[in-house]
Amino acid sequence: MVPGKVIVEHVFAEPFQPFEIHMASGRTFRVGHPEMVSVGKSTMIVYTPPADQPHGPERWERLSYMLIESISPLNAPVPPTHGQ
Cα separation values, 65 from 15, 23, 60, Å? 23, 9, 16
**Taking all residues of the chain, what is their mean pLDDT, rounded to a whole number?**
85
Which pTM value belongs to this model? 0.77
5-9, 11-15, 52-56: which range is least confident on average? 52-56
Spatial CA neighbour of 18 closest among 4, 5, 28 = 28
The DSSP line for 28-56 is: EEEE-SGGGEEE-SSEEEEEEPPTT-TTS
Spatial distance between the Cα atoms of 72 and 63, rounded to a whole number of angstroms = 16
pLDDT of residue 44: 94
Q: Domains plus CATH for the chain?
A: 4-73 (2.30.30)
